[in-house]
Amino acid sequence: MKQNGTLLNLKDKDLELIEEVGDNHVATSLDTPMKPNAHAISDEEKMEKIAEHFAYIMDTLGLDLSDDSLRGTPMRVAKMYVEEVFSGLNPKNKPEVKLFENKYNYKEMLVEKDIKVHSFCEHHFVPIIGVAHVAYINSGKVVGLSKLNRIVDYFAKRPQVQERMTVQIANELKEALGTEDVAVLIDAKHMCVSLRGVEDTSSSTVTASYGGAFQNEETKKEFLQYVYGTK
């Protein structure tokens, strides 16, 4: 990492650590690393700053920003970052969850399969694409099905490490539903694996979080049967 020809206060050991963390996809915390003043400026100001800096990146790469095809790219990228792919960084976009009485007395697990996951690797800012399977056993309250999708989407739409994303979704579901009986399984492909480094296009990464009753082997097995259709 250089600026104006000088290294940005990084020693050789720092560079080695940066490469090691990135190549091994290591997360440093359960919470998404955010500055205390992350929301001090408006979305519009963020987009202006991102567009300015992304234009600098494109110019550094030697791209001609006067070309009609490229002229609007910095602002398009900025808008995509703030309003779409990283919208989960803003707490105002967190879905509100309304619970309903379980009047039909349903006591078995509820499983929502194949929820789309579109996220970004926080180490290289390239896509993570896959599906999430979530399940819960209600404690007397139930939630609309679409809210499960929205909770997954909220935590996916930020720079992520898959292990952290899995736990964040599980913890949010536990809090929202008022029960520890929650399971989350994510199966995803990482473009930082397929586009660079080992360039493996066939592998996927599976992570899971099992809480409460789902730590029981029989309950876990039932959940996995729903997900994979095996006996």
- Catalytic residue numbers, as ranges: 121-124, 162, 190, 192
User: Can you read off the two tokens belonging to residue 145?
Assistant: 């099905």
3-state class percentages of the chain: helix first, strand second, coil last, to nearest 5: 40, 20, 35
Q: Hey, is 7 helix, strand or coil?
A: strand
For residues 102 and 157, give the distance between their C-alpha atoms in angstroms, rounded to a whole number: 31
For residue 110, the cross-strand partners are: 136
For residues 134 and 214, give the distance between their C-alpha atoms in angstroms, rounded to a whole number: 11
Q: Hey, is 136 helix, strand or coil?
A: strand
- Quickly count: other Cβ atoms within 10 Å of residue 21's Cβ: 14
